[in-house]
């Protein structure tokens, strides 16, 4: 009946090599569309939509305080999603997972509840020149409020972190290091395990921004030994409005809450409030219950494909795309790290990225153009913007060929 | 879902309505061999204080104060009744079995060891009510722990936040 | 085909009187279920689910910075939802509406960005003894941080605000008054227009917590002349994870942002950040795009029924229920304000509310039991908890009769 | 969707690639009858500086600096070319019509009044690109406003944030 249900069950690398996982995604049944903007947000497989609607149609209720079964079942589904995230990230306990709206809210939560109590004027917060604005602005704001100083690990010409500079930047005033696992603008996969080891030696806690990593690589927070790991659901084929923060239990227990409200308290009198234990005390108010459940379904989905298969397949696409785009005259890829995700950020000589983007859209090819919320990277490369094609499990080499052909037409159109 | 009769067995209704040993010990202090502890159920706001008199070997007297639901009241009442006169070792065993029966999703309850306390076995099927039954037992657990630490009367309260069956 | 599509189109008070709007709600097609917990969260009509899945199936993309059509259309849908909220609340401009996760996040945002910069040690924050924890805890936290003092407008025995006490509580140190429009625990509808007028005379800005009001009454923020108005989508038949804050444009423009990240900036360099205009600067990171669109659909839905019809119908249910429950011996309703929403908070002599709740659940009647995140009210009435039946557009007098019958059986069961 | 040819008309491509009057006025100051203003497009990060020399009656010289997309460059270039030598009143009229053409969802463009500037009419169908075309015009608007206030050279920048067709 539903063509989407006919998908082969054997989900391995061979399965992906046939036609990607495109058949699982309702929106991509529009065959004309070449969707190359997964870095901004990924499309949703049918199973995620089913999880949302099934919940609303048959199991919906508010959670936590309900004495009736519907509410208890909703609570179990919500807490079950927490457990899925725990296992997905390899965390030790599900109470180490806090639900947030997305990576941005997660980083703001950590700025407020983890870092703010630790910094004095003159202390240092270390980030990198490769961060998304969401991992820059909260620290700038905190610096303004507290007098802490923001320092940056610099870039190299290939768009990698200059790790040689790291040991010196980790001083005895460094209170935290916040670093992205994978760069959204360049695709660079940072050696976070190595970075965390260096930071650990100096006793500096590390926050990893995994927004662009979890859709593409298997992550094990205990093996990494990071203190916190944040990500957004919507980039992981899940719904909008939900994401998560992993943190070591000892940190959560020592942190003051951020937002106040219902469900994060043990008792409230007019004089004072006693807070609940983590994770509850970091989830004030009614959470995005359906979003959490949808995110759980998205995690089941990617685990069904297998993270190892996804990585392998996307690396094949990266290799293919590097060759295909390499044949476009005047195209320069920005970000050529040895270890990178399937992201092509590029400039086309003589044509502004936004003109490229508009033209590609005319050919039904969806890419992102601009600074990708990472202006310091653009400043480093001395360009205002790039055109970025970022891939997901549903993409194929044919998508990259369509991109290359359209780029050749653009050169003609703009006579370059 | 189990029936309400499994949850509210005759004994529970009886102790819920006519609790035994519901009274304070006013001069409860370490010197007098008395320890008390508060328990709090954040789900409903109900509170209890459990008092235990013991020479370190035997629990000579147990009583409680606090208003709550039938399950909470019955559990507190039967705790005080069943454990009175038992040795600390026996009490620890019963405590362990009782909590196991209610909080371990997999465990098959072993009603033999628990005697009439086995009437609370049905609570497991009502996750929102598990804390009601375990509350006095968590307070007892804290009292026993404080006594082995030889700390005597301890301030602070317990809440049975952990008693969740997922 | 789908029985839900057969619903009569003529949506007026008569339509509601037939059988409520139950036919619109997939979950309530389970005929055995008597759902009386809308105050905690409302069920969702099919049209809201359709809005979510249609968006994900045919129009999904991240918003704001996309040069391609899918992204632009998503942006238009998202901003269109903002416009719906503007019109729903009678706001002057759509930029006066900021999307948040829910009322709780909205109140925390206001505590941080509106009130925090205005308070000095010894200044006063005035709330009421009728507030939900979400409108208490953020102020307690702010008080602890700033040395501001929290004061409460007291209750009366009927569960109304003691307005006689208000003028004296509005001192020249009062920096803000935050008050709920409708009490979640009691149903009391507060005379907020009158309260705002009194506060205005003393130059005190007013934040209205409308979480329990918007599902039941037409609200006009300009007529009320409130400074801020917050509400949650999930109580308004919308998805979880989304809500909104209305604020006067002049306030938003003068307020510092709260969370930092993508989409709330004009430009970021390593040294500094320039923020965007409101509402963008208060919406850091990828918002709950689908949630906002779903909330827009929920607003269309309630407006399709007509707020006036909803109010009239629910007032009829309130009258009917008051009579029906009045016939249950030993039942005492807590909260008997002259002006109240269709909420029955009660205690049943000799039976603890949680035993009542468990028993009702056995009869498939979903109610909430406990302190309803409003412990100061419970303290005032000297009770630990109540059983609360809170109604929505899908309820009927038959639901209240089922409740009363079950309560009579409870009295037998517990021999009272 | 309109075709790309409507957006990138020959004239736009030409001015986009070979902009006229793309140069700074180095000693731009009030005393010398010169005003300049920056414009910023937050969607892409592109910036421009527009320079206007005027005796208060006529715009004697206009030029700009800044790199951006073809539409931005062409719009800046044609602005400087078309308005040079026009009276302030004429300029205000053209400015009004140009912004109306691009930002009023309903308005039918009136290409007559705008002359060759009417080539930008197609931009309206590409909402993400409207700011590209309006950016220099918003800067000009700010310059004219500052001159009527008789404030002379003003600091600060404009961004064309408002140019959104909903
Ligand atoms: C590396 C990185 N960090 C953080 C974010 C912010 O994520 P969100 O907008 O979902 O909060 C993004 C999203 O683009 C990202 O790419
Ligand atoms: C009056 C009132 N205010 C605020 C809230 C908090 O809403 P949310 O949990 O959706 O943030 C509620 C929810 O119960 C409420 O009833
Ligand atoms: S409901 Fe409070 S202890 Fe049972
Ligand atoms: S893309 Fe920057 S101005 Fe057009």
Band of pLDDT at residue A8, cut at 50, 70 and 90: very low
Same domain, A271 and A357: no
Considering the domain architecture, whether residues A252 and A362 belong to the same structural domain is answered as no
Separation CA D94–CA D144 (nearest Å): 13
Confidence of residue C118 (pLDDT cuts 50, 70, 90): very high
Angstrom distance (rounded) from CA C377 to CA A324: 68
Lowest model confidence (mean pLDDT) among C98-107, C168-177, C181-190, D141-150: D141-150
In the DSSP assignment, the letter for residue C56 is I
CA distance B75 to B94: 13
- The answer to whether residues A324 and A240 belong to one domain is no
**Taking Cα atoms as reference points, which of D112, D110, D92 lies closest to residue D101?**
D110
- Whether this model's ipTM surpasses 0.90 comes out as yes
C43 inside domain: no
Q: Cα C90–A286–C112 angle (5° rounding)?
A: 65
Looking at the fold, whether A77 and A219 belong to one and the same domain comes out as yes
pLDDT class of D146 with cuts at 50, 70, 90: confident
Q: How far apart are CA C138 and CA C120, in angstroms?
A: 16
Q: How far apart are CA B76 and CA A117, in angstroms?
A: 42
- What confidence score (pLDDT) does residue D158 get? 56
Residues C83, C325: Cα–Cα separation, whole Å: 41
pLDDT of residue B148: 74
What one-character DSSP code corresponds to residue C395? -
Cβ of B66 closer than 6 Å to ligand 3, yes or no, is no
Q: What pLDDT is recorded for position C265?
A: 85
Evaluate the CA torsion angle B1, B6, B12, B16 in order and state its sign. Answer: positive
Among A274, A303, A332, the domain-final residue is A303
**What pLDDT does residue A133 have?**
95
Q: Which is nearest to A359 in space by CA: D3, D76, D46?
A: D3
Q: Angle C333-C339-C342 (CA atoms, 0-180°, nearest 5)?
A: 55
What would the two tokens of residue A121 be?
A: 């004027």
Q: What is the pLDDT of residue A290?
A: 98
pLDDT digits (tens, 9 = 90+) for A125-151: 999 999 999 999 999 999 999 999 999
Query: From CA C231, how far away is CA C210, in angstroms rounded?
Result: 5
What are phi and psi for residue C266, nearest 5 degrees? Answer: -90, -45
Q: Does one domain contain both A103 and A14?
A: no
Closest ligand to the CA of B75: 3
pLDDT of C1 higher than 80: no
Q: In this structure, what CATH number is given to the domain that contains residue A277?
A: 3.40.640.10
- Residues whose beta carbon lies within 6 Å of some atom of ligand 2: A 262, 285-286; C 102-104, 132, 134-135, 180, 184, 209, 211-212, 232, 234, 373
**Through-space distance between the first and last CA atoms of chain A, rounded to whole angstroms:** 49
Percent share of chain C, pLDDT over 90: 89
Quick one: what percent of chain D has pLDDT higher than 90?
63
Q: How many domains does chain A have?
A: 2
CA dihedral D68→D72→D77→D80, nearest 10 degrees, is: -120
User: Using one digit for the tens of pLDDT, what is the confidence trace for C388-408?
Assistant: 999 999 999 999 999 999 999
Residue A355: inside a domain, yes or no? Answer: yes
Q: What is the pLDDT of residue D44?
A: 81
Average pLDDT, chain B: 86
* pLDDT score at D114: 87
Residue C184 Cα: closest atom of ligand 2: 16
pLDDT of residue A3: 45
Identify the three-state secondary structure at position A176: strand
| Predicted confidence (pLDDT) at residue D104 exceeds the cutoff of 90 | no
A39 occurs within a structural domain: no
Q: Which strand (E) or helix (H) includes residue A40?
A: none
CATH code of residue C334: 3.90.1150.10
Residue A43 lies in a domain: no
A261-286 residue pLDDT tens: 988 888 888 888 889 999 999 999 99
Classify A413 as helix, strand or coil. Answer: helix
Claim to verify: residue A337 and residue A284 sit in the same structural domain: no
Contacts of B127 in chain A (CB under 8 A): 72
- Token pair of C151 as six digits: 């004061």
Interatomic CA distance for residues A413 and D123, integer angstroms? 17
Interval A181-205: pLDDT, tens = 999 999 999 999 999 999 999 999 9
Give the angle subtended at the CA of C132 by the CAs of C127 and C138, to the nearest 5°: 65
Say how far apart CA C256 and CA A145 lie, in whole Å.
Answer: 12
Q: How many alpha carbons fall within 13 Å on the CB side of residue C70? A: 31
Residues A57 and A167 in one domain: yes
Q: What is the DSSP letter of B129?
A: G
Task: Answer whether residue C267 shows pLDDT above 90.
Answer: no
pTM value is 0.94
Q: Which of A262, A288, A289, A290 to mutate to test the pocket of ligand 2 (most atoms within 8 A of CB)?
A: A262
CA distances from C108 to A48, C79, C105, C119, C153 (A): 31, 23, 5, 15, 20
HSE-CB of C395 using CA atoms within 13 angstroms: 34
Residues with CB under 6 A from ligand 1: A 102-104, 132, 134-135, 180, 184, 209, 211-212, 232, 234, 373; C 262, 285-286
Say how many Å lie between the first and final Cα of chain C, rounded: 49
State the sign of the Cα–Cα–Cα–Cα dihedral B26, B29, B32, B35.
positive
Residue at A42 is within a domain: no
Give the per-residue pLDDT at D149.
64
Residue from the list A69, A71, A265 with its beta carbon closest to the beta carbon of B1: A69
- Which among C276, C303, C330 is the end of a domain? C303
Q: Which ligand is nearest to the CA of C373?
A: 2
Distance CA(C116)–CA(C139), nearest Å, equals 10
DSSP for residue A112: I
| Residue C89 within any structural domain of the chain | yes
Is A198 found in the same domain as A330? no
Centre of ligand 3 from the C-alpha of residue B69, in Å:
5
> Residue A133 and residue A184: Cα distance in Å, rounded?
11
Residue C8 has pLDDT above 50, yes or no: no
A330 — phi, psi (to 5°)?
Answer: 80, 0
Q: What is the mean pLDDT of chain A?
A: 95
pLDDT of residue B154: 43
pLDDT at position D108 = 64
Q: Which residues of chain A neighbour B161 with C-beta distances below 8 Å?
A: 276-277
Predicted confidence band at D1 (pLDDT cuts at 50, 70, 90)?
Answer: very low
Q: Average pLDDT in the A244-270 region?
A: 93
Same domain, yes or no: A222 and A310: no
Distance B44 CA to ligand 3 centre (A): 6
Q: How confident is the model at residue B160, as a pLDDT?
A: 44
**Is C80 found in the same domain as C19?**
no
Those residues with Cβ within 8 angstroms of residue A105's Cβ, 6 or more apart along the chain or in another chain? A243, C259, C284, C285
Cβ(C166)–Cβ(C195) under 8 Å?
A: yes
Nearest in space to D25 (alpha carbons), one of D41, D40, D39, D37: D37
Q: Which domain holds residue A329?
A: 3-31+306-409
Whether A289 and A339 map to the same domain: the answer is no
In this prediction, residue B1 carries a pLDDT of: 47
Distance of CA D86 to the CA centre of its chain: 15
The CA-based angle B116-B103-A283, given to 5 degrees, is: 140
- Indicate the range of A59-73, A346-360, D48-62, D72-86 predicted with least confidence: A59-73
How high is the mean pLDDT of chain C? 95
Q: Is the pLDDT of residue D154 over 60?
A: no
Q: What is the pLDDT of residues A298-333, one digit of tens each?
A: 999 999 999 999 999 999 999 999 999 999 999 999
pLDDT level of residue A113 (50, 70, 90 thresholds): very high
Residue B158's pLDDT band (cuts 50, 70, 90): low
Pairing verdict, β A174-180 and A206-209: parallel
Q: Name chain A contacts of D72, Cβ cutoff 8 Å.
A: 352
Residues A122, A20, single domain; the answer is: no
pLDDT in tens, B3-62: 888 899 999 999 999 999 999 999 899 888 999 999 988 778 788 999 999 998 999 999
Residue of D44, D127, D131 best to disrupt the C interface, most CBs of C under 10 A: D127
pLDDT tops 90 at residue A43: yes
Higher-pLDDT residue of C341, B154: C341
- Determine, yes or no, domain membership for C40: no
C39 CA distance to ligand 2 middle (Å): 9
Rounded to 10 deg, the angle between the B130-148 and B88-103 helix axes is 150
Check residues A325 and D111 and name the one with the higher pLDDT.
A325
Measured distance CA(D115)–CA(D96) in Å, rounded: 14
Verify D-B touch: 3 or more CB pairs within 8 A. Answer: no
SS (H, E, C) D122-166: HHHHCHHHHHHHHHHHHHHHHHHHHHHCCCCCCCCEEECCCCCCC
The larger pLDDT score, comparing residue D155 to residue D133, is at D133
Closest of C137, C57, C317 to residue A28, by C-alpha:
C57
Residue B114's pLDDT is 87
User: How high is the pLDDT of residue C384?
Assistant: 84
Residue A40: its pLDDT value, please?
Answer: 97
Pocket lining: B68 vs ligand 3, CB cutoff 6 Å: yes
**What is the distance between the alpha carbons of residues B153 and B147, in angstroms, rounded to a whole number?**
8
Which of A237, A270, A303 marks a domain boundary? A303
pLDDT above 90: residue B108: no
Please report whether residue C285 resides in a domain: yes
Domains along the sequence of chain B with CATH: 4-150 (3.90.1010.10)
Beta strands in A69-196 (DSSP E): 97-100, 124-128, 149-153, 174-180
Q: How many residues make up chain A in this entry?
A: 416
The tokens describing C413, both together, are: 């069961």
Per-residue pLDDT tens digits for C65-81: 788 999 999 999 999 99
């Amino acid at each position: 009946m539903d063509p989407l249900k006919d998908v082969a069950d054997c989900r391995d690398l061979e399965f992906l090599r046939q036609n990607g996982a495109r058949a699982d995604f309702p929106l991509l049944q529009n065959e004309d569309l070449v969707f190359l903007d997964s870095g901004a947000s990924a499309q949703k497989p049918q199973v995620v939509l089913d999880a949302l609607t099934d919940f609303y149609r048959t199991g919906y209720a508010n959670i936590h305080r309900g004495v009736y079964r519907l509410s208890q079942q909703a609570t179990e589904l919500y807490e079950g999603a927490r457990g899925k995230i725990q296992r997905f990230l390899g965390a030790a306990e599900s109470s180490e997972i806090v639900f947030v709206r997305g990576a941005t809210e997660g980083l703001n939560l950590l700025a407020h509840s983890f870092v703010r109590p630790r910094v004095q004027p003159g202390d240092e917060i270390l980030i990198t020149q490769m961060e998304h604005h969401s991992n820059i602005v909260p620290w700038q704001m905190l610096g303004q409020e507290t007098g802490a100083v923001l320092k940056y690990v610099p870039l190299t010409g290939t768009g990698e972190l200059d790790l040689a500079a790291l040991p010196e930047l980790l001083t005895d005033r460094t209170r935290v290091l916040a670093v992205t696992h994978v760069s959204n603008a360049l695709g660079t996969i940072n050696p976070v395990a190595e970075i965390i080891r260096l930071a650990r030696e100096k006793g500096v806690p590390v926050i990893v921004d995994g927004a662009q990593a979890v859709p593409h690589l298997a992550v094990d927070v205990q093996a990494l030994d990071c203190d916190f790991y944040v990500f957004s659901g919507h980039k992981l084929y899940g719904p909008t409005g939900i994401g998560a923060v992993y943190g070591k239990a000892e940190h959560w227990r020592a942190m003051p809450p951020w937002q106040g409200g219902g469900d994060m308290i043990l008792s409230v009198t007019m004089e004072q409030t006693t807070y609940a234990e983590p994770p509850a005390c970091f989830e004030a108010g009614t959470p995005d219950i359906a979003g959490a459940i949808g995110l759980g379904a998205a995690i089941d989905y990617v685990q069904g494909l297998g993270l190892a298969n996804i990585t392998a397949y996307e690396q094949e696409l990266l290799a293919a795309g590097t060759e295909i785009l390499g044949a476009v005259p005047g195209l320069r890829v920005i970000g050529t790290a040895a270890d990178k995700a399937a992201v092509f950020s590029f400039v086309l000589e003589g044509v502004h990225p936004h003109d490229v983007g508009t033209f590609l859209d005319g050919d039904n090819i969806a890419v992102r153009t601009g600074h990708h919320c990472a202006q310091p990277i653009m400043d480093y490369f001395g360009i205002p913007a790039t055109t970025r094609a970022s891939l997901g499990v549903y993409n194929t080499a044919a998508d990259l060929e369509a991109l290359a052909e359209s780029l050749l037409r653009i050169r003609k159109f703009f006579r370059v | 879902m189990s029936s309400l009769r499994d949850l509210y067995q005759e004994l529970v209704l009886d102790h819920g309505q006519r609790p035994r040993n519901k009274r304070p010990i006013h001069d409860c202090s370490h010197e007098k061999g008395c320890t008390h502890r508060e328990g709090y159920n954040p789900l409903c706001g109900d509170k209890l204080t459990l008092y235990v008199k013991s020479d370190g070997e035997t629990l000579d007297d147990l009583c409680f104060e606090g208003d709550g639901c039938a399950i909470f009241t019955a559990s507190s009442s039967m705790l005080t009744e069943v454990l009175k006169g038992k040795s600390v070792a026996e009490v620890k065993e019963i405590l362990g079995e009782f909590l196991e029966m209610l909080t371990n999703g997999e465990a098959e309850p072993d009603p033999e060891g628990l005697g009439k306390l086995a009437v609370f076995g049905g609570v497991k099927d009502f996750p929102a009510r598990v804390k009601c039954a375990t509350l006095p037992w968590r307070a007892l657990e804290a009292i026993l722990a404080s006594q082995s630490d030889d700390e005597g009367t301890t301030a602070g309260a317990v809440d049975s936040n952990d008693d969740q069956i997922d």
